[in-house]
Every structure is written in C-alpha cells, then in structure tokens.
Chains A and B, each alone.
Chain A
C-alpha cells in the first residue's frame, strides 16, 4: 500500500509535465460536454415522473383541458372600470392572443369571458363586455356584474375595483419566461397611467431558470476571486495560489462535464454544484500549501518538502475527502431525484478533487522555480501575526475552562434541540426571488387584491352522470364552502357556481338545483343559451363523471396548502363522500407540498445515515470508539446549532437549507479529522499532552483557521445575489465554517484535556497501530473507489423510494401485474406433487391493461395438457367488483360464464390461485412495513399484509419481500391463523424484457401439502398494441392467430 500511495504522487513528481498534460486532456474531454447543457427549473421534477400525484396532475390537466397560467394584472389607483382602462385591457388582450404559445381559446379576461343572465325570462350566455362602459354608472354596473357572478367574482377583477386580471393559459410551462417578457412589452406599450404586474407559479419557476445562469456567471467567479485574494493574503505567491484555483476549477469541470455528458439536466440543485465544490476542492490544497509554507524554509529542498507533506497529509486528506463524499453521497437516499443527482455528483467532484490533489498538485509544485520560492514561508511572521497571537490564547482558555466548555456545549445542544423543534418546512418558488424583485412585487400586489395566483385543484371522480346527482352537487358545494372559508384561499370555482348562477338567473335564488332533472336541464340550458361547451367542460368532463374545484390561493407557501388539505380531509371524515365518488388533489401548488414533504423526511434519513457512516469511519480511522465519538462532537454541535438557528429565526426549511446539512457534515468533520490526526501524530513525538497541544496550536491550528476563513469569507459574495437560494447558501457557508472551525478549536482541546489519559496512548501501542494503519488505508482506498463508482449508479438511483408500505405495495402491484400496456407470453406451469410427479400446463397468455392499476383483460389459450388443448379462458378484471370470467370448451363449442368469486381457488390445479395470477388489489389488505432485509444480494422491504376482510383470502397474514430497486416481490410467505407458514412464493428469475423487469420464473410451494408449482414465462413481448377486441367471445371461440401459434 505504501508503495501504491507513494507511486501516486512520486510518479506525478517525477513526470510533472506528463501528468499536467494528461490532466488537461481529461479536463478538455469533460469541458466539451458542457455545451450540451440542458436546464430544468421545474420544481415538479423534484418528484419522479411516475409519482402518482404528478401523473394525476397531468391526467387532470388533460381531462379538463387545463393549462398552466400566467396572470397579468392591471392596476389603477382610481379604479379600472372606466372606458379608457377597459379598452386598453382589451387591446392588450387582443395582442396577447397573437403570441405564440398562448392558448387563445381559454384566455380569461374581461373581453373573453361569458356571463349568464336572464333577459326577459330566457337564459342567455353572452360575452361579459358587449360594449364599453361609457359612464361611471355603466362601469360600476360591469363591476357589479362580475361580483354577482360566482365564476368571475374576485378572479377577473378585485373587489375594490382597482385591479383587473388577464389569465393567460400557455401551452407549456417552459415558455413562460419568454412569454412573460413579451407580455411585459405589450403591457408597457399600451398602458397609460396604470401599473401592471405579471405573476403565476410558472413564471417564477421559469424566470428562476433564466436568472440562475446570470447568477452563476456572476457569483461563482466572484467567490473564486475572493478566495484567490484570501489565499494570496496567506501565501503571497501568485504562482503558488494558482494551483488550488486551477485544481478546484478542474474538479468542477470534471463533475459538471460528467453530469451533462451523462444526460442529466441541470436543475436548481445541480446548478449549485460548482459553488459547493469550490471550497471543498480548495480545502486540501490549503492544507498542502500550509505545510509547504511551514517546511520549505526548513528543508530548502522542494522535492523533500513535497514528499514529506504528502506523507503526513495523505491519510487525513483521504479521510476528509472520504467523509465529505459520504456526506453528500448520502443524499442519494432522499426520495427526490434532483437532490440525489446533486449528492452523487458532488461526491464525484470531491473524489476528483482528492485525486487531483494527489497528482496534479505535486506535479505543479515541482515546476515552481527556486526564484518563486525564495522567500516562501518567511513572510509568515508579518501577515498572520494576528492568528499567531490569537491561537495560543485560545488554547490557554480552552485548557483552563475545559469543564465549563463541556457544560456549555451540553447546554448549547439542549437549546439547539428546542430550536430544531421549531423548524417549519416551507418552500415557495416565488420566495426564491428577493422582496424587491418585480416578480415578488407582482406576487404581493396580485395576491393581496385578487383571488390568488397559486392554483390547485380538488378533483371529484365518479361514474357517468354522477354530477347530475343533486347529492353529489350539494356535497361538492359544501366542500367548496369549506375551502372558500379558509383565509388563504382567495377564490374557488367549480361547476356548482355555474349551476348556481343559472339558478340565480332563473329563480333569483343562488341555490343548488334540487333534482337530477333540474341539474341536467341547467347543463342543457347553458349549452343552448349560447355558452361555449368547452367552457363548461373545463369544470366537468363531458360524461359528467368528474368535476373539480379550482382553488386560487394567495400564497404559494405549502403550510397553508397543507392546512387546506387537512381541513378538506376533516370534512370528508365527518361527512362521508357520496357513494362512488372519490376525491384527489392536483395542481402545481399541491405538487410542491408533496415533494417538500418527501424532501424533509428524505433529508432526515439521509443525514442520520451519513452521520452513522461517518461515525463508523471515524471509529475505524482512529481505531478507538472514544476518539470516534469525540470527533463527532464539533460537527454534531454545528449541525444542531445551524438547525436551531433556522428554527429560532423562523426561516423556513426549504430545499437549499435541506442540502446544507450534508455540507455541514462533510466540512465540519474535516476540521476534526485534521485536528485529531495531527494531534495524534504530534503526541507520538512528544508523548506529553500539554506539549502536544502547544504544537497543535501552531501550524495545524493555523491551517484549520485559514481554511475556515477562506471558505467562510470566500462565499460572502453570494450574499449579493438576487436569488434567495444562493444568498441562503452563502450565509450558511459562512456560519457553518465559522462555527465548526471554532467548535473544533475550542471543544476538542477542552474535551481531550478532560480525557487525555484515555485518549493518548503509549509509544508501543502507537507502533503497533502504525502497522494496522497500512491495512486500513487499503480498505479506505477501496471505499473511495466505491464512491467514485457511485456516480455511475445515479441513473439507477433515480427510482422512487417511498417509505409508505401502501405506496410500496401499490407500486409493486403495478410493476408486477401491469408491466407495459399489454403483454403476451408463453407460460409453462410445472405442478410437482410430494412424490415428485410432474404435471405440465402450457398456455399462451395475453394481457391488456385498460387502465394502469385498474381494469385489465386476460386471454389464455391452453396448449397442454392434451385434454384441455385449444381450450380458452378469458378474464375481465375489475377493480371494484368481481371479475368476469369465461371459459370456452371447444369440443362442445360451449362458452361458459364462470362464477368469479372464487379468487382463492386454484388456477388450473396449480398452487397459484386465480388471485395470485391476476393480482390481489393492494387496498384489500392493510400493510405494515416491518423493515428491510438483504435477500439474494439486494435490499428488500419486508411488509406484512393482513386482509381487511378475513374471508377474502385464504391466509391470515402474508409477509412480502419487495425489492427496493425493482419493486418486484422476491418472496412471499403466507401464514394461517396459527401463524404457520403454509405457502411460499419465490421469484426465481428476473429478467429485463423490452425494458420491463419481469419475473420470468416463479414458484409457489404449499408446505402443508408438500406440493409445488413452478411457472416460467418465455417469448415475452410487451406493448404489442393488442387490440381490445381480442378479449371477446369471438376470439374465445376462434383464437387470434396473430398471437397464438
């Protein structure tokens, strides 16, 4: 190992030019990837694409033909309901209609919406503004007209009449920045004294993407410059400090190049990778340069200086890099894909930086001229005298006050715990902008005057014509009332409003119609009265099976959204939904809530996980539990302090803050490692604790302080950024570095003084340890390689990781039974009895999913045994009722319906029941996550399922092992009432076919009867576009030749 370690940097020292050339070529290769960059600022991508809420959101948008919206507000102090303003608004609306990407039909604006009124006893749907108001009275009449219409009220115009809105649906969220610029221009050209505002979540998100780059282009170089200046201040040699700067730059290029080259989009998170990498990459260099600085004047020999520095620093640097890398890699455990990508790539960057420190840095150092180094290290006395004077004082203080420091630390931890409990999770893309940003201002004005620019939807689904049932409409009205009463909700709109408005015009009472016929008539009236049916069908589907409440909220924060969801849930709990009706949430605002929730949970686990790993690594590194614990103290204190700070200041815990926990972990441990390693190293020489401490507060403490200052101050420029996440990061960098540095230099000496007898060991032991150290390093190198490799698995890691057992079982069900949209396979079932006698069933099986996770059709053509040859069997599987089953017996040309409640019956005499073949719906059992287990080399969730209706299953409970990666069930155990294992399912073979993971061989063993069935699937094809008509009586009698050979 020693030779390997040596050869790494001696090779670089012997062939500096070659190494620099090689490194440059690699860098160039990564650099040319960067132009392929693909930006993604859509917070929706915080959830994986197959996340239920996300898919549902899109389904809903399609069902109701809804689109993401920009909102243009026109504001006038003197009121907008006058001829001039309204005509300007109309002109603007007309021009906006001409923009590409705007969905003209669905624009909501004064000149675009219909009003419903009763003219001489007939209901008429007509444009709201049929002629411009001439007088003040006519203006007020128009305003009144809007207020009276529940569909438009507080949406189209504010109640105070000062603000009028134009709601602009757009084809794609990604167009919103460009469109907002164009709309801005139109508004500017047309308006007189009025002010205007553009708002809406999509603009905020898209604008952030556009500005992100400007910020990165500005803030990052500025941070680099400040760091360079600080380094110059410490080392006074331009040529020397170029090395760490170049090294950091290269590490960033490698990482971003790999990220972009692998086809990942640069998300808000990954855009911060350079900012995170920079200080980390620089850290090692500072340690190395500090050491050069110290030694060069002693050795006066460049090669020896470098060699000795590398020897001494190799181990602490390896460990600091490794721990930091682990800290970030732990983010891969979070359920949020962009965060995972971020974590894994930062760890790749750290590994790269370490590698460059071991190769590029020594190579570069070798090329330094004697001239440059002539006075290197001498200038020290003058410039860092401040540090030189301050550090010994600090040492004396911490030695004297050791006990007080211990109590102080404990007190701090307790207070911090209180602070942490105060943390509030919240994120709102609009808050990514500073308060004086035009978007933020628009947001404030628009949301304080009108219904709100944050949209969410509560979707009610039922059967055809459900929304003609008065019971359903009344219920929906009640729910809408509950929602509307919440203060953060500005406006709600639904089909109920349309009905009420018609009722009002017909009967003068704004009440929900009372009978089925009346409701049906109202819909009809709306259509024949000249209403655009498309307008109606944005609130309700054309078969009247589902409808939604459009909720406008005045804030994009997720706490109010959460409260809203809770209050609706409460209402539903108290007042059960009408039969066959179900509700579900959608909308960008709701999606934000979901991913934030996942983020917090994910971050906590990730943090705990990496905390544990780092702790184990430390225990290994120091080969002492007590040192391991000690090394964790400064970082624990720092993390708790930082979070307490967040809790106490009331700053919401959002995405950037969440990610900082990993950074804290990675950086704080650095200081502890350097401190302890160096202290142990020195103690070996001195054998005396107080002498060790004296030396420690020389160069080692100086290096730590320098690092602390460089990183802390280096990121101050981020505070100047326009975008809040960057400011947050800058601020926290400062606090983290400063606090953890100080904690290391105060708490560690104090604690080690209190326990020095147990911490520092005799000389013989030291020598024995040295030998073990070698072996350990080998292990560590392997670990590091593993971390590097982890970057390669990022793609794999983007799979969803829910921790909700229901979600797991649901997903497993979908993966297992709903692979592709349809599928065909040759199935062979081998039935083996206790004497080993085999019976064979061979059949072709066709499957088509009518709905993912829902209705399915199966068609089976039997080939063997010969007595059932040519027999066909068909199942229509439903979600909420018994399956329909048919069997066709060719010898008598008989199509027979089979009673289908026999889900527990054996399928063709095998150990699989009908239910095992087509799947038991996950909602029929209650599920409990029992933990995770390793099974055949991969991790699986262990879930216990108990039937809700005991009679519905032939087991009392079932244990399932669901693979964490694939979600396929790898093993299932069925237990009877006595808790005896009766049946055992195993996935024997899993293959990827057409990109779909499939259990191609499975077995079911009945342990009671000692009978076993092995099923294998061959010739599997997915997504064949199997026609629905195949699953009919026609093809039962006449098997489809194209599929059955």
Chain B
C-alpha cells in the first residue's frame, strides 16, 4: 500500500511539472494506469499466485523540439505487486532524432522498432518482444520491447531504406513461471518456476551486434520491401550441450513483402528465409533447422466500423529428413510445415467509444489455439477502461499455445491520460 501512495505522490508531482512544461518548448504527457489480471482456472503449478497482473503504472512522455532535432522519451514507473520487486523505472523510449541532408534521417537511442506486414505474426520483424505482457493482457504497445539502436533512414528517388544497428543483443521476454507456467525444453515438462539455469545470451562484443535493413518503395499503391537481418534468434531455441544451457543461436533472415489494396481491402504477403547459421546442414538437433516462413493476410471493412482481418502463416522446415533423423528419442517432434491461421474482428460502437475485438490464433498442425477477446470503453478523452481475456488450448504441452493451457486469465485496465 505504501508503494501505491508513493506513486500517487510522484504522479501529482509530475503533473505539476506538466503544467509548467506546457509553457515551454517541452511537452509532457502520459497516463496513469491500474491493471489487474487473474487466473480463471486452477493451475497447480502456480498455486497461490492468483494474479497474473496487479500493477500501477505511470507513463511520462516528454519531448522537446530543438533546432537540430527532436528529443523524445517515454518512461514507465511501475509498481508491480506480482513480481514483488519495488517500484521500477523503465525507459521505454529515449532517443534523439534528426535529419542531415535532405535524404537522411537518424534516430539514436532507445527506440521501439517495427516493420513487416503481419498482424501479431512476425517474419522479418526480429526486434525484441515481450510475450509475457502479451499473454497477461497488457496493452498492445507492451508487446514490443525497446532496442538501444541507431537507425538510419535513407530516402532516394528510387527507393527508401532503413538501416539499423543494435549493438547489444536484446532477447524476447518469455514466460518465466512467475505469471504463467510454460514448457521447458530442458526438463521436457511444463514448469511453474524460473529455469534454474537461465539461457545464455550472446557475449556483448562488437561482433555480436545485430544489423537489420529494409529497402522499400511503392509501385502505385503497392509497397514492396526487401529485408535483411543478421543476428540471433530472439528466443533461446538452441541448447549448448557442453554447458547444458539454452542459447540464442545465430540467425540471418532474408525476406520480402508486398502490401497493397485489393478487393476493397488490404492484402499482405510476406516471406522470410531463416538461415540458421550454426546448423545449415540440419544435422544438429540442438539447434533449429533453417526455415522458410511466409504469410498471406487480408483485411477488409465489411460494414461501418467493423473490420475483419485474416492471416495464413506457415513455417516450412528445411532438411526435415535430417531433422527427423537426428531428433533424439522422446524429444518433441514438430511438423515439416507448421501452419497458423489468425483472425481479428473489430467492431467500434457509439462514436468509437466502445470497441469490441477478438483475436484468434489457431494452428491446424500444432492443434492449439489462443483467443484474445477485449472490450474497451472510453468514458471520456481522459478516462478509459479495458476488459479482456487470454485463453489457450492445445493437444500437446510443447506447442506455442498448448503449453499455456492452464493459464487462462482475465484482466481489467483503467487508464487516465493527461
């Protein structure tokens, strides 16, 4: 309780600055949020831990336009009663952005990076993500984790390009057992606590920097893009048998996408070749094989304020024969072609103050699914309320959604914007 009070004092303090900041070139905005989520079924692995989310959050967005460029920062001050840690302060964004010359933009610092055409399905977007936030029902923006990066934008007559360098590897944030139980490939079972041996991240060296590039241009209304990525898997999908710990194997991705209007909707096509650099032959069962990933999506508005988006996504494993050949006895066996279907339905009502949405994932090959219903209500420009749930199911305990089968949860978020 003391924590909460402190937060409130902090908020009022900051709000008073806000008033002062308005008068200057600075601007300060943000929100206060209370978010609560709880399990809606028994999970023996997480007995006694009924909250999936119980936090108070203050986000402050500060920006300043100078003569040279723009400074922007967004900082989250979070009092989290689930993790039990004291109030933490996290910079979500803190960057400086400027142009030099007519054709070049530069963005340096902590930033959120996104590209690609998928909707909650990512092929060429290999920037870090926070799946814990995603599965417990934090707001969408928390799916993306920031990267400390330098981004260079080039804009030429023939094409535009983004070149990104990320000096320090940043992994995806995956369930650790605090809020959600998960499948541990090390033990081969579903577990409810943090891995005893956490995955090993690549050493922070110059050579472990990640690089990403995108080249794109429009052909009429269609945008075509080509992507390159050199770095590591974002999840600890490899095992180093020597030390017996999970690792992030090296990865390069070469991809392309096309997006544009079709049949009164928007069609997206994306492709990526995942070059698993440490197991190009497909013989190492500890490292994933190379893959081809692709998706096709179509979104269209069917009536006023109702949109339906559907995607088909596939992962095609290279050298599947060798994968099977070298797969250890008893280890989970994945299909050659993993497929996933998604659908997003959104209906806005009452002058877009009420929103109903449902996002569904279903994999016909993994035989698992995930449902994400949500109802949001904007009481006023300042106050909003969001209610929703995350439901999972699957035949196997090691598939993406199947592993969370006992983690169904519902949440409520209340926000005040300023």
Contact = CB atoms under 8 A, between A and B. Distances in A.
A910 B351 contact: yes
Contact of A866 (B31, B305, B348): B31
Contacts of B381: 839-840, 864-867
A1034 B112 contact: no
Interface residues of A, number: 42
Given A899-B300, A905-B301, 9 more contacts: A867-B381, A891-B74, A892-B114, A894-B114, A899-B264, A899-B299, A901-B264, A901-B265, A1038-B105
Given A893-B113, A905-B301, A866 B417 contact: yes
Interface in A1003-1044: 1011, 1029, 1032-1034, 1038, 1041
Given A866-B418, A906-B304, A893 B160 contact: no
Interface of B: 29-31, 61, 65, 70, 74, 97, 99, 105, 111-115, 140-141, 143-144, 153, 155, 160, 216, 221, 223, 259-261, 264-266, 268, 299-301, 304-305, 307, 348, 351-353, 378, 380-382, 384, 415, 417-418
A1035 to B, nearest CB: 10
Contacts of B99: 1038
Contacts of A892: 112, 114, 140-141, 143-144
Contacts of B97: 1038
Contacts of B417: 865-867
B301 A901 contact: yes
A1029 B155 contact: yes
Q: Give 9 nearest A-B pairs by CB, closest first.
A: A909-B352, A901-B264, A865-B381, A902-B301, A891-B141, A866-B417, A893-B114, A893-B112, A909-B351
Contacts of A905: 301, 304-305
Interface centre among A837, A864, A894, A908 (most CB of B within 10 A): A894
Given A884-B221, A897-B266, A865 B144 contact: no
Contacts of A898: 266
A1033 B299 contact: no
Interface in A874-915: 876, 881-882, 884, 889, 891-895, 897-902, 904-906, 908-911
B221 A833 contact: no
Contacts of B143: 892
B340 to A, nearest CB: 20
A236 interface: no
Nearest to A866: B417
Interface string A503-543: 00000000000000000000000000000000000000000
Contacts of B140: 892
Nearest to A876: B221
A909 B415 CA distance: 19
A870 to B, nearest CB: 8
Contacts of A894: 114
Interface in A854-868: 864-867
15 contacts: A839-B380, A866-B29, A867-B381, A869-B61, A901-B300, A905-B305, A906-B304, A906-B348, A908-B352, A909-B352, A910-B351, A1033-B216, A1034-B155, A1038-B153, A1045-B65
Contacts of A106: none
Nearest to A891: B141
A179 to B, nearest CB: 44
A954 interface: yes
A831 interface: yes
Nearest to A908: B352
Contacts of B307: 899, 902
B318 to A, nearest CB: 30
Contacts of A1034: 105, 153, 155, 160
A869 B59 CA distance: 14
Nearest to B267: A897
Interface centre among A897, A898, A1033 (most CB of B within 10 A): A897
Nearest to A841: B381
A683 B304 CA distance: 78
Interface of A: 831, 833, 837, 839-840, 864-867, 869, 876, 881-882, 884, 889, 891-895, 897-902, 904-906, 908-911, 954, 1011, 1029, 1032-1034, 1038, 1041, 1045
Nearest to B114: A893
Contacts of B259: 897
B114 A869 contact: no
B32 to A, nearest CB: 12
Given A866-B418, A882-B261, A899 B266 contact: yes
Nearest to A1011: B351
A882 B265 CA distance: 9
A893 B304 contact: no
Interface centre among A833, A895, A905 (most CB of B within 10 A): A905
Nearest to B216: A1033
A889 B301 CA distance: 19
B105 A884 contact: no
Given A906-B304, A1038-B97, A882 B113 contact: no
Nearest to B305: A905
Contacts of A840: 381
B247 to A, nearest CB: 28
A864 B29 CA distance: 11
Contacts of B114: 892-895
Nearest to A1033: B160
Nearest to A867: B417
A909 B353 contact: yes
Contacts of A893: 111-114, 144
B304 A900 contact: no
Contacts of B153: 1034, 1038
Contacts of A954: 304
Nearest to A1040: B99
A866 B415 CA distance: 11
Contact of A899 (B111, B155, B265): B265
Given A898-B266, A901-B265, A1041 B113 contact: no
B102 to A, nearest CB: 9
A911 B351 CA distance: 8
Given A865-B381, A865-B382, A1041 B304 contact: no
Contacts of A882: 261, 264
Nearest to A1013: B351
A177 B266 CA distance: 60
A861 to B, nearest CB: 13
Contacts of A865: 381-382, 417
Nearest to A1041: B65
Interface centre among B30, B31, B141, B143 (most CB of A within 10 A): B141
Contacts of A1045: 65
Contacts of B216: 1033
Nearest to A882: B261
Contacts of A1029: 155
B351 A831 contact: yes
Contacts of B266: 897-900
Nearest to A1006: B351
B352 to A, nearest CB: 3
Contacts of B352: 906, 908-909
Interface centre among B259, B265, B378, B418 (most CB of A within 10 A): B265
B333 to A, nearest CB: 35
B351 A867 contact: no
A906 B221 contact: no
A967 B227 CA distance: 50
A1045 B384 CA distance: 27
Contacts of B141: 889, 891-892
Contact of B29 (A869, A901, A904, A1038): A869
Contacts of B70: 1041
Given A833-B351, A840-B381, A869-B29, A906 B305 contact: yes
Contact of B384 (A867, A891, A901, A906): A867
Contacts of B31: 866-867
A840 B348 CA distance: 18
B407 to A, nearest CB: 24
A562 B382 CA distance: 65
Contacts of A906: 304-305, 348, 351-352
